[in-house]
Amino acid sequence: MHFDYSPKVQDLQARLQAFMDAHIYPNEARFMDEVAANRARGNPWRPTELVERLKPLARAAGLWNLFLPNSPRAPEGLSNLEYAPLCEIMGRVSFAPEVFNCSAPDTGNMETLERYASEALKDRWLAPLLRGEIRSAFLMTEPEVASSDATNIQCRIEREGDELRINGRKWWSSGAGDPRCAVFILMGKTDPQAPRHAQQSMVVVPADAPGVHIERALTVFGYDDAPHGHMELRLENVRVPASHILLGAGRGFEIAQGRLGPGRIHHCMRSIGAAERALELMCQRLTRRVAFGKPLAAQSVWHERIAESRCLIEQARLLTLKAAYMMDTVGNKVAKAEIAMIKVVAPNVACQVLDWAIQAHGGAGVSQDFVLAQSYANQRTLRLADGPDEVHRMAIAKLELARHQVQATTELEPPVTRGC
């Protein structure tokens, strides 16, 4: 057991921090302004010039594709444990991860392609994604069913000769409205008669395939989350080559579990960054504002919340690091309890700290003057995305109960005392 970051990680932290200080924090207002200007001109989904300008700088600084472990195509990729503290730093600013080509849903999609796609598909889609030339979307959730139970997914994928014909409706397909978004990974049902967990498959769908219709953008609380955005799509007789199926027909669940692990832990790392920033803003605000004769920072109700925030964040970070360590050492499958745990813990911690930080800021906290309200909306959504809290808690509980049910047959707990 050893709790220090490695020298390699400490070096990367320092360089990433310097990049954030030089290029990210000073441009937060400019980013918002550029998006607002694009929105006012009628197209909020247009990529910002700011991010496009910063990407080459990040790449030149060696801060690029840090997320992808064990890929010959991304030698700079780190292990999950190494990546965690860097991803956390990026998570402090909403547009930062893209600058380093480390943004959702691309990282999860790239990992999926790296693991499960043919070399041909990798050449076609993974390569430009790794270069940051195109973006991607993940088409899983559907509006008509409780997608938290993935067996509910209805989108139909039918084999017709050498092609797959796809019909269905998807939503919360984040990034699908970006003009650079060139490819989707889609989950759908290839065999409704197969056993419950072998009905689904994942396929690669070019975004410009005929029959792909972007119907509308969803808002998150009041935010459109432009330029990224969350789209509802209709797929009507969309055709792709049969070779676009990943891993094999009926193996969608298997991929989902492999894909969602890294995707989820990246979200958690960023959640911790968001929580740290909220605590920082909270402390700064409380120090500067005076009410009833003393700084808010001197009032013990805020001591309680600051301390509780620090305790929550430290613990969430350690659990995330442990989950990353297990993913690296024993694999995503064995680490499934830990992944489920951080998936519940991290956004809940972030929401709690953000809520206190908002309260500390008064009306300013819910407004556009601070990142807090938008960050809250984002973190609140993560309690639903990639499976709601309840589904992950059920999974954790079943693993826990399984452990004790085995014991239960061999060891009956004795009452401690028998007499009165």
**How many Å apart are CA 104 and CA 137, to the nearest integer?**
9
What SS3 state is found at 147? coil
Closest approach of a copy of itself to the CB of residue 37, in Å:
10
What SS3 state is found at 418? coil
Closest approach of a copy of itself to the CB of residue 69, in Å:
15
Closest approach of a copy of itself to the CB of residue 314, in Å:
6
DSSP per-residue codes, 225-284: -TTT-EEEEEEEEEEEEGGGBSSSTT-HHHHHHHHHHHHHHHHHHHHHHHHHHHHHHHHH
Closest approach of a copy of itself to the CB of residue 117, in Å:
27
**CB neighbourhood size of 47 (10 A):** 18
Closest approach of a copy of itself to the CB of residue 377, in Å:
6
Radius of gyration of the chain (CA): 23
Closest approach of a copy of itself to the CB of residue 120, in Å:
34
Which residue, 40 or 60, has its beta carbon nearer to a copy of itself?
Answer: 40
Which residue, 205 or 326, has its beta carbon nearer to a copy of itself?
Answer: 326
Closest approach of a copy of itself to the CB of residue 125, in Å:
26
Contact indicator for 165, 154 with CB cutoff of 8 Å: no
Which class for 188: exposed (0-12), middle (13-18), buried (19 or more C-beta within 10 A)?
Answer: buried
Q: Determine the distance from the C-alpha atom of residue 235 to the mean position of all C-alpha atoms in its chain, rounded to a whole number.
A: 24
CA angle 220, 255, 272 (to 5 degrees): 45
Contact indicator for 263, 104 with CB cutoff of 8 Å: yes
Contact indicator for 129, 67 with CB cutoff of 8 Å: no
Closest approach of a copy of itself to the CB of residue 416, in Å:
5
Which residue, 244 or 380, has its beta carbon nearer to a copy of itself?
Answer: 380
- 149 Cβ contact partners less than 8 Å away, ≥ 6 residues apart: 391
